[in-house]
C-alpha cells in the first residue's frame, strides 16, 4: 500500500460524504433544526457507522451478503423501513414550531445517525468496490487496520465540521422561516429514498 492509495481513498470518501443521499439530508436537517450539539452528535453517528461498513468490507462482509442474499434483504428492509419512519415523523411535525418540539438528546441523535447508515447495506458493497479499485489485493492486517482508522478520522473530521457550518445562526434563521416547506421537502426525499431502497433489486 502506498501514499497515493490513501490519498485516492480519502478523496473518494470526501466525494461520498458530499453526495446527496439519506446521510447528508439527515445531517443537514438535524443541524439546522436542532442546532450544533444535535448536528455534531448526528454527524458522529453517521461517521462511526460509515467507518464500520468499511471495516466490514475489509473483513469480507460483502461476500457474506452474496452467499446469504436473505441477510442483505433483511438489512435492506430494515433500512428502508427506518427511512420511511424518519420521513413520516418529519412530515408530521413540519408545522410544529421548534420550541414546541422536544430537543433530542445527543445520544438519540448519535443513534439515529448510526441507524441511518446502518440501514443502507449498499454501503458495504460501495466500500468493497472502492477498496478493490484503489488498494492492492494483498493487504495485511496492519494495512486494513490503518484503512479503517483513516476512514474513521476523515469521517469524524468532515461530518461534524459540516454540522457546525449547517447550524450557524444565519442558516438556522433561514431554515426556521421556511420550516414547514423545507421539512416536507426533506420528508418527501427521505421517503422516496426509502422506497427506492425497498424496491431496488440489487
- Reported as a single tens digit per residue, the pLDDT across 113-128 is 998 888 776 677 777 7
C-alpha cell at 39: 448536528
The DSSP symbol for 2 reads -
Task: Please give the average per-residue pLDDT across 188-202, as a whole number.
Answer: 75
What is the rounded average pLDDT of the residues 24-29?
A: 87
The more confidently predicted of residues 194 and 171 is 171
How many whole angstroms separate alpha carbon 124 and alpha carbon 131?
10
Mean of all residue pLDDT scores within the chain: 82
Per residue in 16-35, is it b (16+ CB within 10 Å) or e — as a string?
bbeeebbbbbbbbbbbbbbb
194 vs 40 pLDDT, higher one: 40
Nearest to 5 by CA among 152, 130, 158, 159: 130
119 contacts 190 by C-beta, under 8 angstroms: no
> Is pTM, for the whole model, over 0.85?
no
Q: Domain extents for the chain?
A: 3-199
Structure confidence by residue, pLDDT tens digits, 126-176: 777 777 778 887 888 899 999 999 999 999 999 999 999 988 988 878 777
CA dihedral 34, 36, 42, 45 (to 10 degrees): -160
Amino acid at each position: 500500500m502506498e501514499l497515493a492509495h490513501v490519498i485516492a481513498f480519502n478523496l473518494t470518501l470526501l466525494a461520498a460524504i458530499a453526495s446527496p443521499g439519506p446521510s447528508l439530508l439527515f445531517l443537514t436537517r438535524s443541524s439546522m433544526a436542532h442546532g450544533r450539539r444535535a448536528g455534531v452528535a448526528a454527524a458522529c453517528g453517521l461517521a462511526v457507522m460509515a467507518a464500520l461498513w468499511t471495516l466490514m468490507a475489509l473483513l469480507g462482509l460483502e461476500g457474506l451478503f452474496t452467499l446469504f442474499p436473505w441477510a442483505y434483504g433483511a438489512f435492506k428492509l430494515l433500512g428502508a423501513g427506518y427511512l420511511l419512519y424518519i420521513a413520516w415523523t418529519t412530515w408530521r411535525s413540519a408545522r410544529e414550531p421548534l420550541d414546541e418540539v422536544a430537543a433530542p438528546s445527543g445520544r438519540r441523535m448519535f443513534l439515529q445517525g448510526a441507524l441511518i447508515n446502518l440501514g443502507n447495506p449498499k454501503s458495504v458493497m460501495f466500500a468493497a468496490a472502492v477498496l478493490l479499485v484503489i488498494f492492492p489485493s494483498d493487504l495485511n492486517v496492519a494495512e486494513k487496520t490503518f484503512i479503517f482508522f483513516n476512514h474513521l478520522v476523515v469521517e469524524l473530521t468532515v461530518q461534524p465540521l459540516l454540522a457546525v457550518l449547517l447550524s450557524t445562526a444565519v442558516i438556522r434563521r433561514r431554515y426556521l422561516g421556511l420550516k414547514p416547506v423545507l421539512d416536507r421537502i426533506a420528508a418527501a426525499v427521505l421517503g422516496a429514498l426509502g422506497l427506492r431502497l425497498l424496491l431496488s433489486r440489487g
